Amino acid sequence: MKFNTKTIHGGQENTDPAYGSVMPPIYQTSTYAQDTPGGHKGFEYSRSGNPTRTALENSLASIENGKYGLAFGSGLAAIDAVLKLLKPGDEVVSTNDLYGGSYRLFTSIFKDFGIKFNFIGMQNAADIEQHITENTKLIWVETPTNPMMNIIDIEAAAKIAKKHKVLLGVDNTFATPYLQQPLDLGADLVMHSATKYLGGHSDVVMGALVVKDKELADKLYFIQNASGAVAGPQDSFLVLRGIKTLHLRVQRHCENGKAVAEYLSNHPKVDKVYWPGLENHPNHDIAKKQMKDFGGMVSFTTKGNELQDAVSFVEKLKVFTLAESLGGVESLAGHPASMTHASIPKEEREKTGVVDSLIRLSVGIEDEEDLINDLKQALD
C-alpha cells in the first residue's frame, strides 16, 4: 500500500467481524467474559489490551512503516515509557532545543532517579558522537525541533547510534509520518504526541510509539501494561478517525505554512522566520532530503525583540487562536517563553533562540488569504 491508502486501510480489518461495521467499534469496556479461566478471545482486561486501541496501534505501525505500535494516555506518557527502559547511571544525549514538557520530564523526574541528560545542539549530527560515553543508552531527537524548527539529520544520527550500540528515538510530532518516516532512516523508535496532527482536531490527548524490533517492542509493551498509562477506547477511536484524513490535512498545512512563512519573511516588522522550507533555513538541504514537504509550523521574532510586541501581536489575532498545543485544523498562536517553554530556565531557553519576542504559529487549514490578513492586521 502507498501512504494515502495506509492512512485508511493500513493494519486494519476490512470490516468488524461481529456485525460488519466499516469503522472499528468503540469497545467501551474494562473487562471481557471468559468461558474458562484463561479462555478468552484475545482480550482480558482493557489496560492490557482493548480492540479499539489495538486497531489504532496497528494503524500507527502501518503509517510509520513499523511492526509494532503502542498508544498511551499522552505524548509524555509515551516518552516516560521509553525512559523506563533505562537504569540509574545510564545517560541520554538529547537535542537542546526540545519541547518544554520533555525537558521537564527529563530534568525534574528522571534526573532524580540517577539518569544523566546531556543537552546539545544537533544541527551538525557529527557533534553527537563526542558526547557519547560508555554509559550512553539513548539519543533523543526532535526534528523539526520545537519551537525553533531546527533540522537534525536522522540518517547520520542513526549511523552514530548503531556504531555505539545506542538506541535512537525520534519525536516525529511536527513532521508526522506523512512528511517523514524515521524508522526508514535508521531510528529504533518513533514517538508522537498524537494529540497534535495524528488526531488533528484538538479534541483528544494521546501519545504513540512505533518500533520495528520485537525485543524492544516486548519491553515497551511490558512497561505500557505495568505502568498503565494507556489510551482509552474513545480517544483511540478519535485518533484512528483523525489518521484517515492525515494526508489531506497535512498537505494543506504545508501549503498554508509556506504562504505564511513567505509573507512574514517580507514583513518590515519581522526579524527572523523559522520554517524548514525557506532556502536560508539552517539545514534546509537535509530537510529536503528527509522530508516530503516542510510542515505547517512556523516561528518568528519581531525587530527589537520586545516582550510587549509579542504579547500585543497574539492579543490582536482574530483567526489564529492564542492557545497551547498545535496540529489541529484551526490555526493557533503561542508565545513559547511564557507558555510551552516556561519550564525551561530563561538563560537556557535563550541559548537555543527562544527569546521574548518569539511567536510560534501552528498554521491550520483555513483559507490562506484569511490567515495572511489576520497576521497583517495583528502586526500593524
> Catalytic residues, which ones?
47, 99, 171, 196
Q: Do residues 119 and 96 lie in contact, with contact meaning Cβ atoms separated by under 8 Å?
A: yes
Residue 275 corresponds to which cell in the numbers above? 520554517
Q: Closest by alpha carbon to 300, among 144, 148, 150?
A: 148
Q: Output the DSSP codes for 249-317.
A: HHHHHHHHHHHHHHHHHT-TTEEEEE-TTSTTSTTHHHHHHH-SS--SEEEEEETT--HHHHHHHHHH-
Give the integer Cα–Cα distance in Å for 61 and 57: 6
Burial (CB count <10 Å: 0-12, 13-18, 19+), residue 332: buried
Which residues make beta-bridge pairs with 142?
171
Alpha helices in 134-192 (DSSP H): 154-163, 176-179
Adjacency order of strands within the sheet including 270-274: 270-274, 297-302, 359-362, 332-334, 321-322
**What are the cell numbers at 201?**
482536531
Closest CA to 203 of 242, 146, 245, 246: 242
